[in-house]
Amino acid sequence: RLRARNRLQVILQHLNMSKQTDSTAEVLLEKKGGAGIITLNRPKVLNALNLSMIQQIYPQIKAWEQDPETFLIVIKGTGGKAFCAGGDIRAITEAGKVGDKLSQDFFRGEYRLNNAIGTCKKPYVALIDGITMGGGVGVSVHGHFRVATEKTIFAMPETAIGLFPDVGGGYFLPRLPGKMGYYLGLTGCRLKGRDVLKAGIATHLVESDKLPALEKDLIALKSPSKEKIADLLNSYHMKCTVDQGKEFVLDEHMEKINSIFSANSVEEIIKKLQQDGSPFAMKQLETINKMSPTSLKLTLRQLREGASMSLQEVLRMEYRLSQACMKGHDFYEGVRAVLIDKDQSPKWKPAAVEEVSDEFVDNCFKPLGKDDLKL
List residues with catalytic annotation.
87, 135, 158, 166
From the list 128, 116, 18, 53, the residue with the least C-alpha distance to 84 is: 128
CA dist 40 and 50 (Å) reads: 10
Q: Tell me how far the alpha carbon of residue 101 is from its chain's centroid.
A: 22
Quick one: CA dihedral 57, 61, 63, 69, positive or negative?
positive
**What three-state secondary structure class fits 342?**
coil
CB-based contacts of 357, cutoff 8 Å, min separation 6: none
Q: Are 59 and 36 in contact (CB under 8 A)?
A: no
**What three-state secondary structure class fits 155?**
strand
Q: Are 108 and 319 in contact (CB under 8 A)?
A: yes
